[in-house]
Structure 1
Amino acid sequence: MRIKEIIVVEGKDDTVAIKRALNADTIETNGSAINMETIEKIKLAQKTRGVIVLTDPDFPGQKIRNTIAEHVPGCKHAFIEKHAAIHKLGKGVGVEHASPEIIREALKSAHMMNEEPVTLISQEDLIIAGLIGGAGAKERRERLGQLLKIGYTNGKQLHKRLSMFQVSKEAFGEAIEKIRKEEHDA
């Protein structure tokens, strides 16, 4: 599998994991203190080939993703679920710990972020769906992130993430229905 876009990752170990999964070029941010020189490289990559941002499913990874989204519009974003990126001995979370299959699936499902968030799903929809507050809300948000391939987010950020990726009411409703069915069958 070959990817046209350049994949933005956090470090060398992530690049090695990407190369194990597929034939692709990477730009490394060298951690969350992403500098303007790296931002300029990402801008050039976006203009010439396109960019997919694939950062660790943790706070520093989200900080890098937000910095890139702020400075380089039009990038695609790929997400790996936290449980799929945990070191087998529990020594950290990161892209470098994900299997080649998980990495390929995340890149295949990369989404374009909308620069001007469009409100399709209301805050009230999130409350009614049991995604904010109450028992099981965190688990439902985790499952929603998996089903919609938008990654996990906390209750405060969920509405923004759904808007940024322009998740339709229909796709949201189907995912919530599937989550409820899974809960009922459990």
Structure 2
Amino acid sequence: MRKIKEVIVVEGKDDTTKVKQAVDADTIESNGSAINQEIIERIRHAKEKRGVIIFTDPDAPGERIRTIISDAVPGCKHAFLPKDQARSKFDQGIGIEHASLKAIQEALATVYELTETENNEITKADLLAYGLLGGHHASRRRDKLGERLRIGKTNGKQLLKRLNMFHISQQEFEQTMEMLIQEENDE
């Protein structure tokens, strides 16, 4: 079982149980949207000592928690689980606790660190050129791109920011988009 040095921040106990089945790691539970200053301080301390990976559910509350933590504790790493890999087979719930062990292992193997950069390699023009903004298929394309690159679901503005903050290269971006376009044409 792969050992992870960083402390993984998850939303709740069920997420902790599932993550610990997939990897050897310690977790901090945010208690969902009830995240408070005491939990933020524990996350800040963990980041200083070992580093932190934020691994929240791929839904709106999970993104909100990710943003709260990122704003309060800059420099955390991020792992993303595609929504279709986090869906419950029974009650249609979405969460890390519903994912397969393999999906969790893959998400934690592809971790990004947010860094501000002034040399944005990918531009808004690139997003427009690949139909990721403004078109009737733009949202679906962004979802597929976010899933393929493991950077999460985004709107247009968030996509540009994440592509550059996670240092996705122009080449990786273009190759991924070409594959997605080819798959669309094959459908």
- Answer yes or no: is 1:7 the counterpart of 2:13: no
Q: Check whether the contact 1:21–1:103 (CA below 8 A) recurs between aligned residues.
A: yes
The answer to whether the 8 A contact 1:57-1:85 is kept is yes
SS of 2:33 mapped into structure 1: coil
Count of residue pairs the alignment pairs up? 186
Unmatched 5+ stretches in structure 2: none
TM-superposed deviation, 1:89: 1.6
Match of 1:153 in 2: 154
Which residues of 2 match residues 94-133 of structure 1 at below 5 A? 94-116=95-117, 118-133=119-134
Distance in 1 between the 2:5 and 2:123 partners?
Answer: 36
Change (3 A) 1:13 1:4: same
Give me the CA root mean square deviation. 1.4
The 4+ residue runs of structure 1 with deviation greater than 4 A are: none
Q: CA deviation at 1:19?
A: 1.3
Partner of 1:32: helix, strand, or coil? helix
Residues 69-104 of structure 1 deviation map (CA, whole Å, 9 limit, x = unaligned): 112122110000011111112431111111110000
Report how far residue 139 of structure 1 moved: 2.0
Over the matched positions of the two proteins, sequence identity in percent amounts to 52
Match of 1:79 in 2: 80
Q: Distance in 2 between matches of 1:38 and 1:48?
A: 15
TM-score between both structures, scaled by the size of structure 2: 0.93
Matched with 1:175 is: 176
1:17 is aligned to: 18
Letter in 1 for 2:8: I
Aligned to 2:92: 91
User: Any unmatched runs of 5+ in structure 1?
Assistant: none
Matches within 5 A, 1:28-107: 28-107=29-108
Asked whether the 8 Å contact 1:50–1:75 carries over to 2, the reply is yes
Letter in 2 for 1:162: L
User: TM-score under structure 1 normalisation?
Assistant: 0.94
Aligned-residue offset at 1:116: 4.7
Equivalent residues of 1:9, 1:54 under 8 A apart: yes
Match of 1:143 in 2: 144
